[in-house]
Amino acid sequence: MKKNNLILVGMPASGKSTVGVILAKILGYNFLDADIVIQKKDGRKLSEIIEAEGIEGFVEIENKVNSEIEAEKTVIATGGSVVYGKEAMEHYKNIGKVIYLKVDMDILSKRLRNAKQRGVVMKKDQSLISLYNERSPLYEKYADITIDEKDHSMEEVIADILSKL
What are the sequence ranges of the domains in the chain? 5-164
- pLDDT tens digit sequence for 113-140: 766 666 688 888 888 899 999 999 999 9
Distances (CA, A) of 142 to 54, 60, 125, 157: 25, 18, 27, 19
Which CATH topology does 5-164 take? Rossmann fold (3.40.50)
Decide: pTM greater than 0.75. Answer: yes
Contact 78, 8 (CB under 8 A): yes
| Number of neighbours of residue 105 by Cβ within 10 angstroms | 13
Q: Tell me: the pLDDT tens digits for 152-164?
A: 999 999 999 999 9
